[in-house]
Structures are given as structure tokens and as C-alpha cells.
């Protein structure tokens, strides 16, 4: 018997909570998305009235983009075509809302990452392509692994680099970053997390070569629940990329964290494919010693 696959309202979330993560249950239980104009879409597969599959997605008309945040089918009902059927339903709704593309991101350490990749591939999606690398470990460990840190730091400081904690920077760095991106001098991803509630003004840093010359930035988030500092974005202007300044900034962030909160503090360093040298350093030098290292893969489909 074919399942019935339909979009549902926010109040149905309690009945499908077992098919997604608790944070999504909370966020999708509200009728409108907190960060409007993003629009939430919830699609449920029912077999004889029982929910057996769920997809959660968001779309923004102004960008013409949709994002699949969660897809799951009850274990007992897998490999019956339900996952792909739910995806088709999601795609149909987005197409009707004039959304031109849908994408999703997932960790290669997700227990079912290969099943998810195979499912979206069978629905005609592209990818997966590696988008970000994440390295998690003790800050003390970062410093032990990064043996030439002192030498690189000394050279960078001699060449004029200043690493100013966000809180101490005298100008409005956030506006500067948005302007730099709008003028096409930095990529769009380099502002990710800038306005997050978790933004940490002490360990986020502005990279400058003088009072008014911002050449890069490192965004740090503090996750109080797990007591972890993550560095989701670091960016530096092209002309400085080869000097290792961004790496120096990460190392200095780790050192400052260790100094203030102890060498057992946990940091998560990330880089994107947009900075291939940084990616290679994290992959080759840090990943082998990390507590956890994973890659965020992305998949997408033109609708």
C-alpha cells in the first residue's frame, strides 16, 4: 500500500518528533520561521494513519533557494521508495513556490550518511561535494601539533599583522564585513554566523595591518550547553593567504582560550573549500590528531 505524503502544519510536529532532531522539533513547531522571510515546509508520509517518514525544509522566495534540513524514514519502512517519494513531494512544493534550487548539507560522520547520499542521488540530486572540514580537539593539543606556531606568529607580527579581539576593535567590524562582501571583495560565506546568538566577542578576531585596514576576520561562537568554542568562519584577503596569517590567527585563538580557560578547553576549527590551503593544513596536519574530524558534504538539485 502506497503511503500518503502530505505537507502538514506546525501543530503536527509533536506526532513526528521521533523522526528528526529535538532542535528541529522546536523550530518547526512554530507556524512561521523565526528568521522570516524564510518559510518552513514540513512533509509527512503516513502509512495507515501512522507517520513513517518526515522531511523538513526551508525556502526563501527572495533568494529562490530551498534547503532540506532533515529527512528520515522509520527503520521498518526503509528501502520501499518512501524517502524518494517524500523528496519528490518537497521538490514539487518548492517548484510551485517558484524556488529554483534545493540543497542540503550533511556530515560524512552521520551514521546514515551513505544512505542519505544514495537516496538523494536516486532522486536526481547532484553531489555530494565536500564543502567544509571540521576539526575538534583540546586547545592544548592544537598547540602541541602546531610546532612552528611561534616562528609563524613572530614573522606575521613583524610583517604587520595585528589580531584584535572583536570587543576591543574600535570600529564597527560587522558593517565593514557586510560592505566588503557587497562590493565583491569577500565571498558571501565569510559572514556566516556573524549575527548568531552564540557570537563570542572575545575570541572572534579582526585581522588588521593598521587601525583602519581590515584584511581578514575569524568568527568564534561559544556553545554554552556543551562548553565548546567553534570557529566556523575565518577569512583573509587573497594577497595575505599565502603568508599563513589565518592559521596564525586560529593558533592564537587557541592559545588565548587555553590561557583563559585551560588547555583542556575544546575548540572546533572549520574551513571551507573556498580556502584550499587552509583546508589542506587542517586535513593533513590537524585531522590525524583531532578528537573528531569530519567533512560537511553538500548536495543540490535544480528544480
Ligand X SMILES: CC(C)(COP(=O)(O)OP(=O)(O)OC[C@H]1O[C@@H](n2cnc3c(N)ncnc32)[C@H](O)[C@@H]1OP(=O)(O)O)[C@@H](O)C(=O)NCCC(=O)NCCS
Residue ranges binding ligand X (CB under 6 A): 70-73, 78-84, 106, 110, 112, 115-116, 118-119, 122
Residue 75 Cβ vs ligand X, minimum distance, rounded to whole Å: 7
Q: Which is nearer to ligand X, 117 or 193 (CB)?
A: 117
Tell me which DSSP letter residue 76 carries.
G
Rounded Cα gap, residues 28 and 89, in angstroms: 18
Residue with smaller CB distance to ligand X, 114 or 213? 114
Question: What is the nearest approach in angstroms of ligand X to the Cβ of residue 170?
Answer: 43
Minimum distance from residue 86 beta carbon to ligand X (Å): 8
C-alpha to C-alpha distances, 229 to 28, 61, 262, nearest whole angstrom: 26, 33, 13
CB of 6 to ligand X, least distance (A): 16
Nearer to ligand X, 233 or 297 (CB): 297
CB of 111 to ligand X, least distance (A): 7
d(C-alpha 52, C-alpha 73), whole Å: 6
Name which of 75 and 302 has its Cβ closer to ligand X: 75
Produce one character per residue of 232-264: b if its CB has 16 or more CB atoms within 10 Å, e if not. Answer: bbbbbbeebbeebbbbbbbbbbbbbbbeeeebe
User: Is the omega angle on the peptide bond into residue 128 within 30 degrees of 0, that is, cis?
Assistant: yes
**Residue 206 — φ and ψ, nearest 5°?**
-105, 130
- Nearer CB in complex with ligand X: 118/211: 118
Cβ–Cβ under 8 Å, residues 201 and 222: no
Residue whose CB is nearest to ligand X in the complex, by number: 83
Amino acid at each position: 500500500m502506497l503511503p500518503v505524503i502530505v505537507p502538514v502544519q506546525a501543530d503536527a510536529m509533536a506526532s513526528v518528533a521521533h523522526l528528526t532532531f529535538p532542535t528541529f522539533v522546536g523550530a518547526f513547531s512554530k507556524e512561521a520561521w523565526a528568521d522570516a522571510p524564510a518559510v518552513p515546509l514540513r512533509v509527512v508520509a503516513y502509512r495507515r494513519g501512522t507517520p513513517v517518514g518526515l522531511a523538513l525544509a526551508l525556502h526563501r522566495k527572495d533568494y529562490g533557494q530551498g534547503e532540506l534540513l532533515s529527512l528520515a524514514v522509520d527503520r521498518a519502512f526503509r528501502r520501499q521508495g518512501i524517502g524518494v517519494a517524500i523528496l519528490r513531494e518537497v521538490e514539487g512544493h518548492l517548484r510551485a513556490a517558484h524556488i529554483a534550487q534545493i540543497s542540503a548539507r550533511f556530515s560524512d560522520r552521520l551514521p546514515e550518511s551513505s544512505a542519505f547520499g544514495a537516496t538523494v542521488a536516486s532522486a536526481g540530486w547532484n553531489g555530494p561535494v565536500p564543502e567544509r572540514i571540521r576539526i575538534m580537539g583540546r586547545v592544548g593539543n592544537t598547540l602541541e601539533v602546531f610546532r612552528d606556531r611561534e616562528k609563524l606568529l613572530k614573522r606575521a607580527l613583524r610583517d604587520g599583522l595585528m589580531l584584535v579581539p572583536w570587543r576591543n576593535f574600535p570600529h564597527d567590524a560587522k558593517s565593514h564585513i557586510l560592505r566588503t562582501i557587497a562590493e565583491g571583495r569577500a565571498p558571501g560565506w565569510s559572514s556566516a554566523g556573524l549575527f548568531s546568538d552564540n557570537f563570542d566577542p572575545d575570541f572572534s578576531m579582526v585581522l588588521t595591518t593598521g587601525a583602519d585596514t581590515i584584511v581578514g576576520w575569524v568568527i568564534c561562537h561559544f556553545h554554552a550547553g556543551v562548553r565548546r568554542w567553534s570557529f566556523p568562519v575565518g577569512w583573509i584577503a587573497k594577497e595575505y593567504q599565502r603568508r599563513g596569517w589565518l592559521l596564525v590567527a586560529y593558533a592564537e585563538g587557541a592559545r588565548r582560550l587555553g590561557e583563559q580557560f585551560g588547555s583542556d578547553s575544546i575548540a572546533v576549527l572549520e574551513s571551507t573549500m573556498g580556502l584550499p590551503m587552509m583546508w589542506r593544513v587542517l586535513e593533513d596536519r590537524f585531522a590525524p590528531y583531532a578528537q573528531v574530524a569530519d567533512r560537511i558534504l553538500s548536495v543540490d538539485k535544480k528544480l
